[in-house]
Amino acid sequence: MNYYSLFWIVNAAAALLRLSIIGFIGLSGDEAHYWTYTQYPELSYFDHPPFVAWVIKFFTLIFGNNEFGVRFPAVAAFFVLCWIIYLWTKDAFDEKTAFWTVVLLNVTPVFSFVGSVLTIPDTPLSVFWMLYVYLFWKLTRNQKGYLWYALGALLGLGLLSKYNAVLMAVSAAFYLALSKDNRHWFRRFEPYAALAIAGIVFLPVIIWNLQNNFASFGFQLRHGFGNAAPHFSLALLGKCLGAQAGYVSPLLFLTFWASLYYAGKKYLKEKSDAFLFILSFSFPTLFLFNFIASFNEILPHWPAMGYLILAAAVTDLTIKSWNRAWFRYFTYVSWAIGLIITVLIPLQAIFKVLPPEAFLPKDEARRIEDGITRAEKIDVTNELYGWHEVGNKLDGLLAAPGEKRPFIFTHRHYISSQLSFYTPKHPRIYTLSDRADAYDFWQRDLSDLDGRDALFVTNDYFYAEPQQLFPCKKWEKLEPIEIYRNGRKVRIFWIWRGTSFSLNDLPPECTSNLVGHKTTSMAGIRKADYKVFWLINRDFHSDIVDFFMWKFTELDTRINVNTMLVIVIVAVGFVLWHAKREKFYAELILLIGIVSVGGIIIHVLKDTFDRWRPLLIFGDSVRVFHEKLTLGSFPSGHTQIAFGVATYLASRFKRYWWAYYLMALMAGLSRVYIGVHFPVDVVGGAIIGSGVAWLMTKYIKI
């Protein structure tokens, strides 16, 4: 069979089917929220990095601010993703496996609908993730180091899409550690240059966080790991696995996990590199998120990238086991159920083909909650309806004569975002709530609202009464907006009209005070620098380490000599005498030259920046050991020596490169521990020491 032609037929047909429906389904709360990003151009955002906003903006400029324009990137991204998956699987296995892997992705709901119809941060991430996998595979085959630079750029783009892209680098390191033929890359310059490139590409997000009190990083850490200490819960883990089974399709979910075991068995028994690759780019992600799920509730699509490449193992397992009748029937049923779910989701969203009360006991289905039956509350596709009607109602209210138009607000950012999309004549919608969200960063100045009339919007999903929360002289509840589908009431929206909003009486937690003031990037760096300093200098210490630090710094102070420099030069000289005796003097002179050149640069920078030491800034609250220095903090000379020598040794004795850098890192952290340097000083010293050593060892031939 011509699987390549079949692939293009299936991929193109699936894309055309998706394009035919995406304009008929209203935006979800998440999609509307990411569209709202485009109305507030910034380097990054509170909830997520900016790439999803960039792609939505680009395609809505082409197709307009409508559902089709917002969702087109998802369809296009999945089309490209399937192509990359096909190429990798064909290279690692064969064309037959590649084709059926693509078919499998198209019948797995988390990919075939969530990942291919809804434009969310995972949309661009999935493309960058799989392109990274494919390019990394090529690198491990041809050993061409320049490919690392492209991998660095892809990692950076992945991080601009979603923070869990960091697992791309973790997975690559996992593979290199287990692959004997590729472990040598840990000793090469290119992988670390790739990380630096990724950091440069990721700079917009770093700068935004520096300017906004690291709000996004903090939010995602709390969102992912929770606010309390981890406490294992079997119920939480079971709930998460059940939700994943729903997203993947129950029987396919079992097959995916069976294939993870299958991949591990294949690697251990046959040393198959393809299966090691699958394990490397699936196991870390699946393990991490399901480990977190054992103590904190996560969303079921978070581990999706782990299932992505695992689909190839599912296909290989299926092909190899096809002669077993029971497995063949199981495959027919599991793939069919996945396809049925994939088809039913858009059909339910457009035509409401399934009555939701069929999935609940009769009494519970008929129970009324906020004006809607419990049955209709569980039908999540109802969330996509009613926004046009509310937008039209608001347009009519805003068109009423008056000196100053009322402002529109609500208490949940999901409602605000959908109102922004469906009320285009009045896109400035406010969110006033006691929880931090993206709107706190977009509406720092609320002075224009004082004294104005207000329109408060709520619905049956997030019902609230504004007179209990927000200060207006008078509140009037307008006629509710009831939404029907197939003759059944499925949603209710309420609009309240308030007069003379009083900004002074608004609780501070409902303003941007919740997220703090915006600062400069330098102020953000300084704040982070101080926090890490206190963490190392004051929060983490032990009596044993204190004893050695005290004795070492006491010796340094008494003889007024850089004891560390003397010890290092003597130790390395001893090693060179035994290992490179024929070039001993040349190597020793080179080492002294590395330290000296780095030292000159350090002293010039110290005089230029003249940064105060911690003792001069914080006084006696700093833990110091004999050395009571006050000026010339940036950069750290001791750290420059440590990393200069480590880089030199790594170039001459490569086997234990990690040990050299570990000791250099400990030397740098010790300068913070004893209170004479800030972390930024240590980073600066490390860069100068390593940079000078790398250049001199590379271009000075001995």
Residue with tokens 């393990």: 287
Q: Are residues 451 and 395 in the same domain?
A: yes
101 φ, ψ to 5°? Answer: -65, -40
Query: Within 10 Å of residue 484's Cβ, how many Cβ atoms?
Result: 11
Q: Are residues 508 and 585 in the same domain?
A: no
362 inside domain: no
Q: Are residues 333 and 388 in the same domain?
A: no
612 inside domain: yes
Residue with tokens 């790398």: 694
Query: Within 10 Å of residue 8's Cβ, how many Cβ atoms?
Result: 14
Residue 285 above 90 pLDDT? yes
Q: Are residues 474 and 387 in the same domain?
A: yes
Q: Are residues 326 and 387 in the same domain?
A: no
Residue 403 above 70 pLDDT? no
Its domain, for residue 462, covers 382-514
pLDDT in tens, 203-246: 999 999 999 999 999 999 888 888 777 888 999 999 999 999 99
pLDDT in tens, 13-41: 999 999 999 999 999 999 999 999 999 99
Q: Which two tokens stand for residue 668?
A: 């740098």
91 inside domain: yes
Q: Are residues 459 and 574 in the same domain?
A: no
Report the domain count for the chain. 3
356 inside domain: no
* Percent of the chain predicted with pLDDT > 90: 71
Domain boundary among 322, 347, 372: 347
541 inside domain: yes
Q: Are residues 685 and 631 in the same domain?
A: yes
Q: How far apart, in Å, are the Cα atoms of 473 and each of 325, 456, 466?
A: 74, 14, 12
User: How much is the mean pLDDT over the chain?
Assistant: 91
Q: Are residues 669 and 577 in the same domain?
A: yes
CB 147 within 8 A of CB 138: yes
Element (H, E) at 489: strand 488-499
Core vs surface per residue 516-532: b (16+ CB within 10 A) or e: eeeeeeeebeeebebee
User: CA-to-CA distance for 105 and 112, rounded, in angstroms?
Assistant: 6
CB 165 within 8 A of CB 129: yes
Q: Are residues 535 and 431 in the same domain?
A: no
Domain boundary among 483, 514, 545: 514
Q: Are residues 330 and 448 in the same domain?
A: no
Q: What is the CATH number of the domain that holds 670?
A: 1.20.144.10
pLDDT in tens, 55-100: 999 999 999 999 999 999 999 999 999 999 999 999 999 999 999 9
Long-range contacts of 522-531, Cβ-Cβ distance < 8 Å, separation of 24 or more: 523/210, 524/209, 524/210, 524/211, 524/212, 524/213, 524/214, 525/210, 525/680, 527/213, 528/210, 528/214, 529/678, 529/679, 529/680, 530/678
pLDDT in tens, 633-654: 999 998 999 999 899 888 888 8
Tell me which residue of 666, 652, 509, 522 sits closest to 588, measured CA to CA.
652
pLDDT in tens, 328-348: 999 999 999 999 999 999 999
User: CA-to-CA distance for 313 and 315, rounded, in angstroms?
Assistant: 5
Q: Are residues 599 and 492 in the same domain?
A: no
Q: DSSP letters along 311-372, please?
A: HHHHHHHHHHTTTSHHHHHHHHHHHHHHHHHHHHHHHHHHH--S-GGGGS-HHHHH-EETTE
Element (H, E) at 378: helix 374-378
Q: Where are the alpha helices (DSSP H) in 145-189?
A: 147-161, 166-178
236 inside domain: yes
For CA atoms 115, 117, 120, 121, give the dihedral sign.
positive
By residue count, the chain amounts to 702
205 inside domain: yes
Q: Are residues 328 and 471 in the same domain?
A: no
Domain boundary among 463, 492, 514: 514
In this prediction, residue 322 has a pLDDT band, given cuts at 50, 70 and 90, of very high
- Pick 584 or 314 by higher pLDDT: 314
User: CA-to-CA distance for 660 and 667, rounded, in angstroms?
Assistant: 11
For CA atoms 668, 669, 673, 679, give the dihedral sign.
positive
374 inside domain: no
For CA atoms 358, 364, 370, 372, give the dihedral sign.
positive
